[in-house]
Amino acid sequence: MKILDANMIIRLFVYDNSESAFETIRLIDNYPVLLLPEVAAEIVFVMTKFYKLDRKAVASALLELLTLENVKTNCGNVLKSGIQFYQETSLDFVDCLLCAYHTEENYEICTFDKKLQKLIARQDEK
């Protein structure tokens, strides 16, 4: 299993260096690769803050990446759910991951963040 760093995936998403993008594609096509939540968080930060991309576009790109056969995660559905929460809300990505850990793994999230508390409560009502 190979772990891709954020910069490899960012090169693929922004396609500003074709050689690097092709190397990322080659790895994904030929090996099982792991997308860690920490790496996804860095991708979200760089893509929205540095490249000024819309959060929904970044979330869609990450979700599409997770559909590839060789792309795996180490946290079950937590990462996918966190990305979906990020796409649907205005919360920071890490808060969305925390809510996903609550909904997917039944972890109790202790926070003073009112927006996160509301999102968790809405998920509990479902």
Do 63 and 81 belong together in one domain? no
Q: pLDDT for 91-126, tens place per residue?
A: 999 999 999 999 999 999 999 999 999 999 999 998
The predicted pLDDT at position 126 comes to: 83
The predicted pLDDT at position 93 comes to: 98
Do 50 and 85 belong together in one domain? no
- The low-confidence residues of the chain, meaning pLDDT below 70, are none
Least Cα distance to 109 among 92, 95, 89 occurs for 95
Do 7 and 66 belong together in one domain? yes
Do 87 and 113 belong together in one domain? yes
The predicted pLDDT at position 85 comes to: 98
The predicted pLDDT at position 36 comes to: 97
User: 109 with 98: CB under 8 angstroms?
Assistant: yes
C-alpha distances out from residue 88 to 31, 55, 82, Å: 31, 9, 10
Distance of CA 53 to the CA centre of its chain: 14
Q: How far apart, in whole angstroms, are the C-alpha atoms of residue 47 and residue 15?
A: 12
The predicted pLDDT at position 95 comes to: 98
Q: Which of 74, 97, 113 is the last residue of a domain?
A: 74
Range of the domain at 83: 76-126
How many structural domains does the chain have?
A: 2
User: What are the start-end ranges of the H helices in 6-66?
Assistant: 6-14, 18-30, 37-45, 55-66
The predicted pLDDT at position 27 comes to: 97
Q: How far apart, in whole angstroms, are the C-alpha atoms of residue 34 and residue 50?
A: 24
The predicted pLDDT at position 4 comes to: 94
User: 39 with 24: CB under 8 angstroms?
Assistant: no
